[in-house]
Every structure is written in C-alpha cells, then in structure tokens.
C-alpha cells in the first residue's frame, strides 16, 4: 500500500502550485489526524481490487475534501426540503475508507436532518478499513449502515423516501450507465432523489440518462467541482 509522503506534496506543488498541497493538508490529512482515523492515503485499483473486470471499470481511491462533502450534502438536503416533508436517506456510492460517512455522521446539522445513512463499497479491503475507522470514531451522532457489495446488486429498497446519492467519481461510464439504469428501474414514478457528483467526469452520461442538472459548484480544481442532478426537473 502506497503511503503519503512529502514527495506527494512536492508533486502537488509542481503541478498546481502551493495552494493544492495546503488544501490537501487541511481537507484530508488534518481530518484523519484530528479524528484518529485513516482515510487520506491514495490507492490504485490494483491495490484494493483483484478481479480484472472490476479493476477495468473502477478508478483509484482518493478521499473527498471535507468542506466539499459537508457543503454539497447540506445543499442537497436543503433542495429536497422544498419538495419533501420526509427526511432523506443518504447513500455514499463507493464509500471507500469511509471519509464521507464519517463527515456525515459527525455533523450535527446533517445527521439531524436525515433518516438513514448507507455506505456501499465493492472492495472488501477498503470495506475493512472503513469498518475499522467507524469502530474507532468517537464523534458519531448517527450510526451508518456500511455494506460490502456491488451497487449494481444492492438490495437496498429505494422506496417511500427521498434519496441523496454521493459519488466521488467511483467508476467509469460503463458502470455509470448501469447504475443510472438501476435507479430508473428501482425508483417508483414520482419519487424524488438527488445525485451529488464530485469530480463529475461523466456528466454527459448522466444527462443522457434523463436526470436534470439542478446546480453546480465550480472550482479551480476537480476535487472541488460538484454537479447536482435530480430525478425531477427544477421548477
């Protein structure tokens, strides 16, 4: 497993200037250090997946920026509140080492306004790291449900509640199309859900599926760019 080093900071500086390594330290490294968890070490697909097909359609593991997780989730919850009286269910698609789950369950405003939190991770290795982080985490205000399974085979019943899905670019366009098709099949007509897509590489694929772009966070770096899609067109 590759470990984070000063060389990583140096490479960030060479490619993006001094702001990126500072952002990384504040958004990723400090989150782990201050909470006694381990989420920020980057991993290539061959380090956490063995199946050749899974590796082909997956991307490297990186942790989302803390501020992006919190601001994007709060926006999605606020948006849904205009149309829904029921509390939403949050699902982190490709939960990795648990950074998004941890950020959700420690935040009082987020945890008090949702019904349930799910994490779904394909890699058993990343799942085990996530389970360890959740076990050692002392700031949980709500207990997440963490599942080790393929999102395409997930048996979560997408019924009777509005949903918010968080994706930090977890897979390629092939799996994205299958995931969106699953949502179209699983959700009943008129049911509302929001897709939070951090680093939205496959934006066109999502629009082709029939979802509607409702908002966007722009930023100078892809890690800070977030697109928001809804099953219902904004009125």
At 178-233, the pLDDT tens digits run 999 998 888 766 678 999 999 999 999 999 999 999 999 999 999 999 999 998 77
pLDDT at 160 over 90: no
As a whole-number percent, the residues of the chain with pLDDT over 70 amount to 91
pLDDT value, residue 5: 60
pLDDT at 100 over 90: yes
pLDDT value, residue 186: 80
Higher pLDDT, 36 or 186: 36
Cα–Cα distances in angstroms (integers) from residue 12 to residues 7, 100, 152, 207, in the given order: 9, 23, 34, 32
pLDDT at 32 over 70: yes
pLDDT value, residue 80: 93
Find the mean pLDDT for residues 95-123: 97
**Residue 85, exposed/middle/buried by CB under 10 A (0-12, 13-18, 19+)?**
exposed
Find the mean pLDDT for residues 21-34: 93
The answer to whether the CB of 76 falls within 8 A of the CB of 228 is: yes
pLDDT value, residue 184: 85
Task: Return the CATH architecture of domain 66-230.
Answer: 3-Layer(aba) Sandwich (3.40)
């Amino acid at each position: 497993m590759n470990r984070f080093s000063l060389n990583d900071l140096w490479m960030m500086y060479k490619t993006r200037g001094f702001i990126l390594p500072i952002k990384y330290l504040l958004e990723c490294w400090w989150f782990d250090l201050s909470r006694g968890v381990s989420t920020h070490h980057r991993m290539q697909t061959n380090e956490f997946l063995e199946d050749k097909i899974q590796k082909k359609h997956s991307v490297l593991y990186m942790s989302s920026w803390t501020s992006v997780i919190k601001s994007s989730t709060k926006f999605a919850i606020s948006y849904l509140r205009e149309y829904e009286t029921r509390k939403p269910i949050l699902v982190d698609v490709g939960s990795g080492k648990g950074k998004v789950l941890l950020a959700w369950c420690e935040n009082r405003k987020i945890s008090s306004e949702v019904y349930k939190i799910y994490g779904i991770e394909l890699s058993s290795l990343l799942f085990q790291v996530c389970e360890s982080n959740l076990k050692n985490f002392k700031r949980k205000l709500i207990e997440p449900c963490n599942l080790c399974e393929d999102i395409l085979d997930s048996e979560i019943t997408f019924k009777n509640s509005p949903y918010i899905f968080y994706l930090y670019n977890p897979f390629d366009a092939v799996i994205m199309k299958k995931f969106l098709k699953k949502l179209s099949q699983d959700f009943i007509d008129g049911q509302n859900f929001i897709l939070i897509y951090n680093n939205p590489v496959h934006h066109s694929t999502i629009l082709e599926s029939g979802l509607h772009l409702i908002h966007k966070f722009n930023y100078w770096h892809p890690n800070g760019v977030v697109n928001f899609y809804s099953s219902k067109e904004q009125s």
